[in-house]
Every structure is written in structure tokens, then in C-alpha cells.
Amino acid sequence: MSCQSCGGETLAVPVSTELREYLPGDAPAVTVCRACLAMEPTDDAPETVPDLTAIDDAVPRNAEAAVPLMLLVGLLDSLALHRAEITALLERVERAGTDPLLVVDRLADSYGAEAHVDLAARRHQLEQLL
């Protein structure tokens, strides 16, 4: 499947029932673009969580941190609209043992202007939420 934002290759990620409340809609999975990090809900859910380090080495290997982190990054296009979800996902990533702000910094360095949002600017706003 290709990204609706940039046409890049996407990676399908199943979303556990407990994390679906943070997604728009009721899809059981999301696709994450490898080129721009845009996220889209999808009904084509793989059975297991893929290795999300395929997106970037900054993404944790631990699925308990990686999946909410990918959801968080996907929601950054509308920080005002998704503030409650983003705040909850930040806390989940931290509880799973990963520093979400550090990962966003590293993703900003890796993706730069190719990311679907200005990750460096959003990182500063995320810090204020914490």
C-alpha cells in the first residue's frame, strides 16, 4: 500500500484494543509511511507487530513503546485536535521505558523536511505538554 500523503511505501501495524481509543475511527491497524511518517487507519491488520525499526533506528524495538510512539507521531499533524490522545500516548511511551522526546528529536534529524509535520517544532510543543 502506498502513502496517501506522499506516495511512499507504508508499513501496516496492528493496534491493540487498548490503544484504539487514540485513533480516529475504529480501524484495527494503521499504516505508517516509511518516507514521511504519515499515519492512516486501515482494516488490513497484520497478525503481529512488525519490526518498527525498519522505519528508523530511533524507534524502539519494544512494541509496548514503539506502537504508541508511532501513533503519537501520526497524530502530530493536529496537536490541538489530538492533545488528549497525544498526552496519553506520551505517558504510555514513557512508562514503557522510552524517552518519547528523544525519539522525536532523532526522527526530526532523520526525516527533516520529508516528515509529514515539522517534527522539530512539534517536539518543543510536546515538551510543554509533559
Domain boundaries, the chain: 10-129
In our burial notation (b when 16+ CB lie closer than 10 A, e otherwise), range 16-25 reads: eeebbebbee
User: What pLDDT, on the 0 to 100 scale, is given for residue 59?
Assistant: 96
Task: Please tell me the distance from the alpha carbon of residue 90 to that of residue 88, in angstroms, as a whole number.
Answer: 5
Instruction: At 40, give phi and psi (nearest 5°).
Output: -135, 135
pTM: 0.93
User: What pLDDT, on the 0 to 100 scale, is given for residue 98?
Assistant: 96
User: What pLDDT, on the 0 to 100 scale, is given for residue 54?
Assistant: 94
DSSP state of 9: B
Q: Which three cell numbers stand for residue 75?
A: 497524530
58 to 25, 83, 88, 97, 126: CA distances (angstroms)? 28, 23, 21, 14, 17
Q: Which three cell numbers stand for residue 71?
A: 501513533
pLDDT averaged over 10-residue windows placed end to end, the chain, 130 residues = 91 94 88 95 92 95 96 92 93 96 96 94 85
